[in-house]
Amino acid sequence: MEIEIELSKDTIIVTQTNEKGIIEFANEDFCKISGYTLNELVGNPHNMIRHKDMPKWAFEDLWKTIKSGRMWKGIVKNRTKNGGYYWVKANVYSSKNSDGSLRYISARAKPTKDEINKAILAYQNIVGKNAF
């Protein structure tokens, strides 16, 4: 059985990836919640924390949105290193490095129970009732 890690209301998870989704930075809260060290995260694809319950279309929409220069917002279920999970309210946007290359910043916080329940219902309608 998977164990849920519930974020505290003060937790702010921040990551930065390059334009291919490779992690370049992760803050201490992200390391603490995900169970990975900074060295384990940097240089790896951000989807290493993708939970199997999350529908692929959610991330296709995320990439389409941020590549167009708009901010993507959504409720996401992520996987921890030890096989648990945690829910986040994610805000992802593009920015440029000083050399002009693209980077993507994601800031995540604790969602409300209502936001999580609405996300679960929406995802179940897409991927099936047995998910989540």
pLDDT along the chain (132 residues), means of 10: 92 97 98 98 97 91 95 97 97 96 97 96 77 60
Any domain includes 89: yes
Coil, strand or helix: which one is 1?
coil
The token duo for 83 is 């096989």
Report the predicted TM-score, pTM, of the whole model to 2 decimal places. 0.91
Any domain includes 49: yes
Residue numbers of the domain that contains 95: 13-127
How many domains are there within the chain? 1
**Per-residue pLDDT, 129:** 63
Phi, psi of 41 (to 5 degrees): -90, -50
To 5 degrees, how large is the angle CA 2–CA 4–CA 10? Answer: 160
Any domain includes 5: no
Q: 110: Cβ–Cβ under 8 A, 6 or more apart, which residues?
A: 6, 7, 8, 9, 11, 87, 88, 89
Any domain includes 103: yes
Any domain includes 70: yes
**Per-residue pLDDT, 83:** 94
Q: What is the CATH number of the domain that holds 103?
A: 3.30.450.20
**Per-residue pLDDT, 132:** 61
